[in-house]
Amino acid sequence: MSASPPLLALPDADTLTDLATFLGRARRVDPDGACRLVASGPVLAAYVSPVHGGGGPTVLGLRVLALAAPGDLDATVPLAALLDRFPRVPPDADSAVLPIPPVAAVATWAGVTPPRSGWDAVGLLEPAALRASAAEGVREIAAGVPEGAGAQAVARLRGQVWGRPLTPDLPDVPAGTSFAADALGFLDDAEPVALYRAGPWVRATTRRGHVLARRASLL
């Protein structure tokens, strides 16, 4: 007899919807991607990676959510399989319970864990500048991919574009940080983005989520 899949109990349906929105945005930029779910006590950390591979940086997106019941889980699952679980949740008082798919995903970035503490404030970034950087990178990638190019060629170009410094005075912040923040819906024009450093890592934070990155040369 097979064991029942683990469950995550979220506080309410709104929190569940928030998580589904985050995962849906991640899948749009990484259709075959994965999500690492780390539940510890009353907190759930959900990691995705809009930028990885191709010799470029590893850029993670992170949403931290409260749990309605203490959890103990560290699982990396396909985004498609996880999102498929949401429609199965009935719209009643138990709608905040999310079953975790039993299938595991292979994602090299999931073995890279950013620090939880020791972050030093660097300064603030303007959301408009990050949006512009993201749009410029997307245009460059679209224009630079020849017809019929293979997946490896596309990955290399993405690695080059998103691995460039965000600005000359921030050489350790890859441009992929802007892409992840924009694609995952973390930017709000009314809220500056707080930038932090911890060792080889940088973190861009808003009230909507965190983008964590470190360059390929530092992996």
Total number of residues shown for the chain: 219
Q: What is the pLDDT of residue 216?
A: 64
- In which residue ranges of the chain is pLDDT below 50? 1, 218-219
Q: What is the pLDDT of residue 147?
A: 76
> 3-class DSSP state for residue 126?
coil
The verdict on residue 47 lying in a domain is yes
Look up the domain containing 141 and give its range.
Answer: 120-218
Query: Which pTM was predicted?
Result: 0.93
Tokens 């911890």 label which residue? Answer: 198
Q: What is the pLDDT of residue 112?
A: 87
Say if residue 91 is in the same domain as residue 135. no
Quote the tokens at residue 114.
């950013």
Of 94, 111, 128, which marks where a domain is finished?
Answer: 111
Report the relative pairing of strands 193-198 and 165-167 from DSSP bridges: unpaired
Q: What is the pLDDT of residue 218?
A: 46
How far is residue 46's CA from residue 36's CA, in Å, rounded to a whole number?
6
Say if residue 147 is in the same domain as residue 178. yes
Q: Is 180 in contact with 57 (CB distance < 8 Å)?
A: no
Of 90, 111, 132, which marks where a domain is finished?
Answer: 111
